[in-house]
Amino acid sequence: MCRILFMLVSVLIPGVPPFGKGGIGGICNHAQKKIPLDPPFPKGEVLLIWLGMLLLAIVVGTINGYAGEARPAWQQDWDKTVAAAKAEGQVTVYVHSTYGPVLTSGAFEKAFPGIKLTIVSGIENDLERRFTTERRAGKFLADVFMVGVLRSYDFMQAKMLDPIKPVLVLPEVVDESKWWQGKHHYSDPDKRYLFRYVASAQYGQISYNTKLLQPKEFTSFFDFLNPKWKGKILSRDIRTPGTGGSAIRLFYYHPEMGPEFVRRLFAETDITLFRDRRQGLDWLANGKFPICFWCEGVEKANEQGLPVDTFGRMKEGAGLSAGQAILTLVNQAPHPNAAKLFINWFLSRDGQNNFQSALNKADGDAPDSLRIDISKDEIAQRSRRIDGVKYLDTDQWLAMKPVLKVVDDALAQAGKKYPYRAEP
């Protein structure tokens, strides 16, 4: 009877294990011990019992034989990726120094022990110079790049990137309902290469000396053009990469301000430019200038007791900025599976929680992640997106050349030649 049972099930379910506790042999042997073929069971009842055992064997065989195939495709893909990433043993991420604390937090290594996270941190110009020099020399060292939208777009144009969209695997990453506006946000026209994971509120990044003016005097960006403040405004030289790119695009593309506002700001206010970030903050805090466009480190200086602060939202509204939050996958990456693993982890709920938390601990100014299923308690009110506020997404315009041409022409109109660096 066992031999017949085995033959039937083998035909019905190829690959079912013949031996062991979960196999047909194990079931059949157990049945023979428990169900004698002699009376008191009538032969008809014995036949029914054996037919029941046949059905049981089919069910057990199906479970044993096909359990692996029942796993969803994403899980199989993910398991293979994790195994291959562990075999590679390393992932190399080039990251803007602003976001360096996120990668040095140890969260990735804790999630995936045995995979070394190699970090190359610096400002955008230095990272770009290093990366392009390596590529020209035939050295393919970077797996993932994390810098701003303009630099990332340059890399895409130079064909140094692979599409990032195809490597998104984890359901919590792929599920667009977990992201702001119910969609993934990309900063490239094809929506495949430049994955954007931050949109922080942008109020113009204008700061002031708290001893020299009252912020309530300013309700509109046009208040800064008041002749009262002529010669009293300081600005980082926006023609060099750094803070302020998103803000000046807000001015340039805003329907109520536009190029004319930018022209007047640089031509009519007798504005003083600086390039040394420490110098700008020093001049503002020491009272040499009451107003600064795009000074850096104001929030931390305020916490340290210096008389500086940042203006809030003006009546023209606010912009949204990605900052340095563009995630890209480098082509010809030396550790492609580890890169895929890192990208999915970083965009996961745990990864973005760590992103906000690490930057909040580092400088108290965490950006607002585009994931909406994580806490926003660590996001400062000035950076947090608020329901009901109309935002102009300044990162939808990548070209800075038309903006900077207006700045150059305005400075020339004011008699300030390039390169220009005024002393107070």
**For 80-200+323-389, which CATH class?**
alpha beta
Mean pLDDT on 326-338: 98
Mean pLDDT on 162-181: 97
Q: pLDDT tens for residues 61-82?
A: 444 444 445 789 999 999 999 9
Mean pLDDT on 268-293: 95
Please check the confidence at residue 42 and state whether its pLDDT lies above 70. Answer: no
Rounded Cα distance between 158 and 143, Å, is 16
Strand partners, 234: 272, 292
Query: 204-316+400-413: which CATH topology?
Result: D-Maltodextrin-Binding Protein; domain 2 (3.40.190)
Q: pLDDT tens for residues 357-404?
A: 999 988 777 899 999 999 999 998 888 998 878 788 877 655 688 999
Residue 40's pLDDT is 52
Rounded Cα distance between 239 and 401, Å, is 10
- Please list, residue by residue across 103-123, b when 16 or more beta carbons sit within 10 angstroms of its beta carbon and e when fewer do: bebebbeeebeebebeebbbe
